[in-house]
Amino acid sequence: MSHNRDALRSVHTLSPSRRRRAATATAALAVLGGLTVGCVPSASASGAHADERHDVVRQRMDRLVRDDEFPAALAAVRGRDGSTRDYTAGVADREDKAKVPADGRVRIGSTTKTFTAVVVLQLVGEGRISLDAPIEKYLRRLVRGEGIDGRHITVRQLLQHTSGLPDYVAAMGGDFFKGRHTYTEPRDLLDLALAQKAKFVPGSKWEYSNTNYLLAGLLIQKVTGRPVAEEITRRVIKPIGLRHTYFPGVGDQDIRGPHPRGYHVAKPGAPMRDITEMDPSWAWAAGQMIATPSDLNRFYSALLGGKLLKPAQLKQMRTTVPASDLWPGARYGLGLISTPLSCGGLVWGHGGDIPGYETRGGATEDGRAASVTVTALPSALPTDQAGQQTAADHVIDFVDTALCE
């Protein structure tokens, strides 16, 4: 990945942060205001060990704001017994220093990809899509470009990021604020991708590209004849009772309900600015959705518990390839990432970055779950590249601590 592309991705990104890639720019120093840290138990958890465990988790939450200088952080942690605690730190609004709402709504970025993949795999289970069929079978003569041919790219390769398709996000421009209120059609985004050269021969390696899930969204719409937002809502959100999760409609630029504001920088070295209100159409099936931490815990727990996919499709989803460019130990399935835990076992989730918000988390086989969101990307923080990388690592470490302590 070139330096210019890295600089661009610090402004426009839907992918989980790459730990091995240092952040590309230093954000200008910004005053964060007073620090507040909270923990709200949604269900009782008793005993000295439980109190010690929650103290450690609170300390990790505190660190994200006090040491790493994220404006705010919020999380939900679910134990094996089903008890849930909500954690908050920082301020929801840097101007009025409002309290961070427990379990507030946030933009979840690429965590949307798991929702999109679930719908595709449901259609596979219904016999309407074949994972190993070329995308050409469903989107005829659409995927063409220099070294790009939809006749040689399978649906599986799209969902697993092994297609070799270039990322449309890389061609969107450097200053996200300039286009924040612009509506973009999916086909226009695809044109941006197809104007670039193929990255590699399909199936020969792994590389994250939002274009894969742009096409997955178009695939869903072609096969069902309905909008992707409607299919995600009907097939995923409603059946498992995600009351605070939604796919923003056309023209919907706000975040409904209680939420912390998100912050970003226009370019390296610029001061943080409020980016909460935006038209997220450019993220679409790759990253447009909004949810709360507790809803994400419910979603991943339901997914692992077999409530959304048939066993054969869930097995395919959890068949992974190495993806250590994301963070050490990461492996990518079909819209699902496995990460080893320090206490043993794996957490299954995804993660998502979108200007203003970074989300990490997932669920385990035994019923634990944790999701955390910070209200700026690490690359927007007022520190040097090493500090930004440390902050990104701390977000991932929070999830590990929450699940292992």
Residues labelled as active-site residues: 110
Strand partners, 347: 339
Determine the Cα–Cα distance for residues 322 and 280; give it in Å rounded to an integer.
30
DSSP 138-199: TSTTTSEETTEEGGG-BHHHHHHT-S-PPPGGGGS-S-GGGGTT----HHHHHHHHHTSPPS
Give alpha helix (H) positions in 225-351. Answer: 228-232, 284-287, 293-304, 311-317
Determine the Cα–Cα distance for residues 208 and 158; give it in Å rounded to an integer.
10
Burial of 98 (0-12, 13-18, 19+ CB in 10 A): middle
User: Which residue, 377, 370, 312, is CA-closest to 341?
Assistant: 370
Determine the Cα–Cα distance for residues 124 and 120; give it in Å rounded to an integer.
6
Name, in order, each residue with C-beta under 8 angstroms of 178's C-beta and a sequence gap of 6 or more: none
Q: How many CB atoms lie within 10 A of CB 322?
A: 12
Report the interhelical angle of 48-66 vs 385-404 (nearest 10°): 160
Determine the Cα–Cα distance for residues 354 and 261; give it in Å rounded to an integer.
13
User: Which residue, 161, 120, 122, 105, is CA-closest to 289?
Assistant: 105
Q: Of all helices (H) and strands (E), which one includes residue 394?
A: helix 385-404
